[in-house]
Amino acid sequence: MRGEATIEVRTDNPDERFQIGTTLHTDPHDKGPLKIRDAKVHSGTLLLSFVGVEDRNAVEKLRNVLLLAEIDPSEANVTEDDFHVSQIIGCKVIDGAGKDWGSVVEVLQLPAQDTLVVKSDSREILIPFVRAFVPEVKVQEKIIKVTNIEGLL
């Protein structure tokens, strides 16, 4: 029996990213690269098998390994609301009054929506990455404008 890994998909383009023959880098680095041998969806879950990963014991060693695709972030901006995570990290977060709340250090991909993790000198703030709270993102200027909602900031 060949080993198949269940994949938590974190891309808007799984059909592009997980094509048979694609080589993916890994985090941690020493677990890869991995070349996709087969890909299928079973009951709504993406299953991948990799060249050289022959059974479930070998797949188990890949548990919690992140699969990384090489992409050009500039090609991610198909619409004004499309961003690659690497374009958001490091952006300064300001409110309508111009107050600097810190910089984005991480983007959490949660079931309901993505959430910005903003770090200031004194604290960490979680901001849902939805238009109601984040009305404007200027990727080129590395600025994200947020709405100052009572209790959020």
C-alpha to C-alpha distance for 31 and 66, rounded to whole angstroms: 9
Indicate yes or no: pTM above 0.85. Answer: no
pLDDT tens per residue across span 24-40? 998 898 998 999 999 99
**What's at 89, amino acid-wise?**
I
pLDDT tens per residue across span 74-91? 665 555 666 777 788 999
Architecture of domain 85-146: Roll (2.30)
The residue ranges of every structural domain in the chain are 5-70, 85-146
Residues of the chain with pLDDT under 70: 1-2, 72-82, 149-153
Residue 30 φ then ψ, to 5°: -70, -5
Q: What was the pLDDT predicted at 50? A: 93
C-alpha to C-alpha distance for 31 and 47, rounded to whole angstroms: 18
